[in-house]
Amino acid sequence: MTRNKTAVWWRVVWRYLLKVMVTLLATIVGCTVLLAIGFAIPNGRIINHVVAQSRSGLNSASYQPNGLGNRTDTYTETIGYCIGVLPAHSQMPLWKRVSMVPRCTAGPQAAVMMTHFQSHPNELTSGAGTYIRYWSGFSVISRPALALGGVYMARAVSLLCLVAAVFYLAVMLARRAGLWAAVGLVGVYLGTTDLLALTSQFTHALAQATILATGAMMLQFGRRWQTAGYLAVVSGGLFAFMDLLTNPPASCALTVAMAGLAGWTGSRRIRTTLAFLASSTLGWLVGFVGTWVARWVEAMPYNGWRTTVSNVRDTAKFRLDGDVSSAGHHYAVNLEPGATTMTNIRMWLSYPLSPYVLAVVILLALVIIVWLLLRDRHSLVGMLILLIPVLYVPGYLEIMRNHSQIHSWFVFRDVAMGFAVTAAVCLHFLQEKVRSHAVPASAQGSDDAADLGRGERSEETNGAASTSVS
């Protein structure tokens, strides 16, 4: 009997892993198609709009104040509206553009280069460089908007996407974990970051919209641990597609935490919740890393093996610890353990509401822990397990030390997401207890291994059966 069960579960695991890889492949194909659609938008109208708006006052100066005590990443926004741009009558095939990911320039020179393109519409590339490290998938949204109304239209569309994603996440979280959890997560993340100041940073706005929307997607559709894994693959892949390496741990932490909440609220079982967390963590990593590697593979037909590998290797060295061997120097960042995390915590605390949020979240967590320790230890274990994804934030920061320190003025959002998830989890359990929505502890199950094992074995058997049917 034991051997039969072991065999059944090995089949479940292998089928799950196979479907994870199929989901990854489908995500990569989908990303490639979307990128091609974005790059198929004619460049002439984009060039004309950007040139006209630059002449009428579009500010492309880098890193201006954002009104919240931080800076605006206008530089990256200029990259955003330069991605995919070639002279209007360039005859470069679409597949080459997808492989090359052309970027004409960035920063204050964007308008100058666009003006040159306007004057020389028949050149092939006119000096445009490549941006092969990233998918720049935001262009599937930004380029149509740029063609319709220039940079201002792209900003408006990205802001609408961000608002829709916030609303989507709030609604799904309220339905799954309660209104208090939704208010806690959305309130902390909006109130202690620069999301409200992303009107002139459409690349950041679209990346943040992706983070929030994929978290909501997990809450809406993640009803089984296998499904949570597949959705996490899509989440990681879409974030790699849309983002320029701004806040990967925020995406991972939110996706996995929402998967954990889906597992806990649907079963109130420890092992089930752990299965959701493990499945979604694996899925997100596979999706994020696999999709990013696929970008480099797709870059090789145009850029060549050596150029692509050299670009990726040198960039990785720089992002990790500041090594810039090609320039003959090393960035002076603090490589001591914990230094990167503290740098970003200090940046987060520089926002007006953050110190108060920090105090409230710590106090709330302590109160809930003591309460559950005295009244419901099963729920206490569940709560602590649901907070595991928060640890992904410092883990990432301590690996990507240089990148996370020199860009702390936007990487700090990862810290905010960690506290937002903590607030949501704590408020979920608080609302459960205050409103007496939870089933009495004696009926929830106990820490007794035999009782818990029987419940889990029943669920696992059902999961195996449904997997084999699917």
pTM: 0.88
Q: What is the mean pLDDT of the chain?
A: 86
Of 46, 33, 154, 44, the closest CA to residue 98 belongs to 33
Tokens in use for 37?
Answer: 């659609």
pLDDT, residue 415, reads: 98
pLDDT, residue 127, reads: 57
Rounded Cα–Cα distance for residues 365 and 265 (Å) = 19
Query: Could you give the 3-state DSSP secondary structure of residue 56?
Result: coil
pLDDT, residue 392, reads: 97
| Total Cβ atoms within 10 A of residue 270 | 18
Which residues share a beta bridge with 71? 65
pLDDT, residue 456, reads: 40
pLDDT, residue 463, reads: 42
List of long-range contacts for 296-301, beta carbons under 8 Å, 24+ apart: 296/132, 296/133, 298/32, 298/98, 298/99, 299/99, 299/100, 299/101, 299/130, 299/132, 300/99, 301/95, 301/96, 301/99
Residue carrying the six token digits 């967390």 = 277
Running DSSP on this structure, what letter comes out for residue 83? B
Name the stretches of the chain with pLDDT < 70: 1, 60, 105-108, 123-128, 321-332, 436-470
pLDDT, residue 466, reads: 37
DSSP string, 285-351: HHHHHHHHHHHHHHHHHHH-HHHHHHHHHHHHHHHHH-EEGGGTEE-----STTHHHHHHHHHHHTS
pLDDT, residue 459, reads: 41
Percent of the chain with pLDDT over 90: 57
Rounded Cα–Cα distance for residues 172 and 155 (Å) = 26
pLDDT, residue 213, reads: 98
